[in-house]
Amino acid sequence: MDAAQNLAAQALPVAVIGAGPVGLAAAAHLLERGLEPLIFEAGTTAGAAIEQWRHIRLFSPWRFNLDAATVRLLESAGWEAPRPTALPYGGELVDNYLAPLAALPAIASRLQTGARVTAVTRAGLDKTHTRNRDTTPFTVRAEHADGETRDHTVAAVIDASGTWSRRNPLGTSGLPAIGEDTAAERISAPLPDVTGRDRAAFAGRRVLVVGAGHSAANTLTGLADLAKDEPDTRILWAVRGASAAKVYGGGDLDGLPARGQLGGRVRRLVEAGKIELHTGFGISSLKALDSHVTVEAADGRTLDADVVVPCTGFRPDLDILRELRLELDPAVEAPRELGPLIDPEFHSCGTVPPHGARLLAHPDKDFYIVGMKSYGRAPTFLLATGYEQVRSVVAALAGDREAADTVQLELPETGVCSTDAGTSCDVPAASAAQSDAGCCASPEPVLVGFPTGLSHGRSGSN
Ligand SMILES: Cc1cc2nc3c(=O)[nH]c(=O)nc-3n(C[C@H](O)[C@H](O)[C@H](O)COP(=O)(O)OP(=O)(O)OC[C@H]3O[C@@H](n4cnc5c(N)ncnc54)[C@H](O)[C@@H]3O)c2cc1C
């Protein structure tokens, strides 16, 4: 029995975990294929994670942020697409795209909000049982808004739950720094709205921003804007590496100009002394005092701050998948074959060969991790990549293997993105050559993404 017959015979829905942009796109593709989505969203509304960073402007324009199947669904209800070249704020992505999408009867009737998935397993089988595993439905356990926990039987599971709820700790070894838990009151959310919603917590305070990614860059520039009105605001910035070059980015070489400009602005603020940069500052402990928190580096240096902003990245919640048979890259915690293509140790490009169901498959058949969570701990995920993932995954679930394997390029070809001899594909050939698209096997790699103008990942900078 192939996948389509199997799903049809079971007459069961396909669970989609998370109503972010990728989860909702998966639902739209399922509907187009005549399959029944059952969407679980932990938050009170669709796009609950993006709601937390609604004040941040995306660096990719609308035309790369919309999924084709959702656009077809929305347009059939009279929706008008935003200007394709405009850069939306997170809030606009929610208000002008995700909220109208979630409100369509076809989606609303299949969306359960306030429903947090706490576990996924095969019905009646724990992880050690092999017999009939492939044809056994899944059980999705969810805690619902009414306080009840219920088990839902589904034919397949698409986990699009993102990584927003699991920030990496401040500690330098992947563990929380000693005292990090007890200092929780002095640690903000990862992307606070320092000039708006959260202004009072930052105005006139000593703020320590920790981390070297786009979140750090956004927070630092926001704090610099705040400091213009509130001159007592002091901005400290601690990075683990020997330099902040990664944040400054590729400038004019960045394929997304907004991203290049952000890094350039941070550089100028540091050079002008508006931001006090501390490099090589791997955090070992935090000591919360009544008046402030003291943050200590592994080499003994200390910084005093009123509030710490953790821009340390995110990691996937694998606990809910404990009873499933997964195959993950040991470093990146992405599906095994995807891991080497996006490993931040080697990649800074944000480019990746288009890939789909075959690359994202796990030993447990008909289970897929997609979207931000599919990148595990790698920070370079782009929505356009996720939309192609779910188009392919849903085609596979519908039994259309040809469509599933024809991974398509939805973005302009960016060619090689490194500034030296390497490409985004300079990963161990054996692993790269197995990708859906065979990226590195071809002489002219075709990549989805946008060059950052940086030459390498961490291995090139530290
Ligand atoms: C500040 C920022 C800027 C970004 N800018 C861009 C950009 O310009 N361009 C771009 O292409 N990408 C960008 N990204 C990356 C990425 O596209 C976004 O993070 C995007 O939101 C990922 O979509 P997603 O659907 O995979 O996950 P999310 O948007 O995180 O959605 C996951 C959903 O799952 C829900 N959920 C979580 N756990 C559970 C559970 N256990 N049960 C039920 N529901 C659950 C969450 O509440 C959430 O609604 C940016 C990311 C960040 C953080």
For the chain, give percent helix, strand, coil, nearest 5: 30, 20, 50
Mean pLDDT for 425-451 is 36
Hey, what are 319's tokens?
């606990």
> Can you say whether residue 132 is alpha, beta or left, with left for phi > 0 and alpha for psi between -120 and 50 degrees?
left
**How far apart (Å, rounded) are the C-alpha atoms in residues 418 and 424?**
7
- Per residue in 333-390, pLDDT tens? 999 999 988 887 776 555 677 889 999 999 999 999 999 999 999 988 999 999 999 9
Is 120 close to ligand 1, i.e. is its CB under 6 Å away?
A: no
Is 56 close to ligand 1, i.e. is its CB under 6 Å away?
A: yes
DSSP states along 291-319: S-EEEEETTS-EEEESEEEE---B----G
Residue type, 133: R
**How far apart (Å, rounded) are the C-alpha atoms in residues 439 and 340?**
12
Confidence band for 446, pLDDT divided at 50, 70 and 90: very low
Q: Report which secondary-structure segment, H or E, holds 275.
A: strand 275-278
CA dihedral 3, 320, 25, 410 (to 10 degrees): -80
Residue 381 CA, closest ligand 1 atom number: 15
Answer whether residue 257 shows pLDDT above 80.
no
In the reported structure, the alpha carbon of residue 376 is separated from the centroid of ligand 1 by a whole-number distance in angstroms of: 12
CATH code for the domain defined by 3-165+314-411: 3.50.50.60
Which residue has its alpha carbon closest to ligand 1 atom 29? 20
Is 92 close to ligand 1, i.e. is its CB under 6 Å away?
A: no
Is 23 close to ligand 1, i.e. is its CB under 6 Å away?
A: yes
pTM of the shown model? 0.89
The answer to whether the beta carbons of residues 126 and 108 sit under 8 Å apart is no
The answer to whether the beta carbons of residues 186 and 307 sit under 8 Å apart is yes
Confidence band for 432, pLDDT divided at 50, 70 and 90: very low
Is 26 close to ligand 1, i.e. is its CB under 6 Å away?
A: no
Residue 385 CA, closest ligand 1 atom number: 11
In the reported structure, the alpha carbon of residue 441 is separated from the centroid of ligand 1 by a whole-number distance in angstroms of: 31
Which residue has its alpha carbon closest to ligand 1 atom 11? 382
The overall longest dimension of the chain from CA atoms, in Å, is 69
Computed over every residue of the chain, the mean pLDDT equals: 87
Tell me the best of 140, 381, 390, 450 to mutate to test the pocket of ligand 1, counting ligand atoms within 8 Å of each CB and taking the most: 381
In the reported structure, the alpha carbon of residue 304 is separated from the centroid of ligand 1 by a whole-number distance in angstroms of: 32
**How far apart (Å, rounded) are the C-alpha atoms in residues 206 and 217?**
17
Is 381 close to ligand 1, i.e. is its CB under 6 Å away?
A: yes
Residue 373 CA, closest ligand 1 atom number: 26
Is 248 close to ligand 1, i.e. is its CB under 6 Å away?
A: no
Mean pLDDT for 173-184 is 96
Is 16 close to ligand 1, i.e. is its CB under 6 Å away?
A: no
Hey, what are 248's tokens?
């400054």
Hey, what are 261's tokens?
């400009």
Q: What is the pLDDT of residue 427?
A: 30
CA dihedral 53, 255, 447, 213 (to 10 degrees): -40
The answer to whether the beta carbons of residues 236 and 208 sit under 8 Å apart is yes
**How far apart (Å, rounded) are the C-alpha atoms in residues 172 and 285?**
9
The closest alpha carbon to 209, from 128, 283, 121, 271, belongs to: 283
The answer to whether the beta carbons of residues 160 and 18 sit under 8 Å apart is yes
Residue 47 CA, closest ligand 1 atom number: 49
Task: Tell me which of 105 and 262 has the higher pLDDT.
Answer: 105
Residue type, 307: V
Torsional sign, CA 421, 426, 428, 429: negative
Which residue has its alpha carbon closest to ligand 1 atom 12? 382
Residue type, 428: P
Q: What is the pLDDT of residue 392?
A: 97
Answer whether residue 194 shows pLDDT above 90.
yes
Residue 94: which residues within 8 A CB-CB, separation 6 or more? 45, 46, 47, 50, 51, 54
Task: Tell me which of 240 and 443 has the higher pLDDT.
Answer: 240
Is 187 close to ligand 1, i.e. is its CB under 6 Å away?
A: no
Mean pLDDT for 136-155 is 98
- Per residue in 288-343, pLDDT tens? 999 999 999 999 999 999 999 999 999 999 999 999 999 999 999 999 999 988 88
Residue 256 CA, closest ligand 1 atom number: 8
The answer to whether the beta carbons of residues 319 and 221 sit under 8 Å apart is no
Least confident of 65-69, 135-139, 428-432: 428-432
Is 164 close to ligand 1, i.e. is its CB under 6 Å away?
A: yes
Q: What is the pLDDT of residue 253?
A: 63
Tell me the best of 38, 40, 41, 320 to mutate to test the pocket of ligand 1, counting ligand atoms within 8 Å of each CB and taking the most: 41
Mean pLDDT for 435-445 is 35
Specify the domain boundaries for CATH 3.50.50.60 within the chain. Answer: 3-165+314-411, 184-310
Answer whether residue 163 shows pLDDT above 80.
yes
Q: Could you tell me the strand order of the sheet in which 149-154 lies?
A: 116-122, 138-143, 149-154
In the reported structure, the alpha carbon of residue 49 is separated from the centroid of ligand 1 by a whole-number distance in angstroms of: 6
In the reported structure, the alpha carbon of residue 374 is separated from the centroid of ligand 1 by a whole-number distance in angstroms of: 11
**How far apart (Å, rounded) are the C-alpha atoms in residues 77 and 57?**
27
Confidence band for 6, pLDDT divided at 50, 70 and 90: low
Which residue has its alpha carbon closest to ligand 1 atom 3? 58
- Per residue in 197-237, pLDDT tens? 999 999 999 999 999 988 999 999 999 999 999 999 999 99
Top-tier CATH class for 184-310: alpha beta
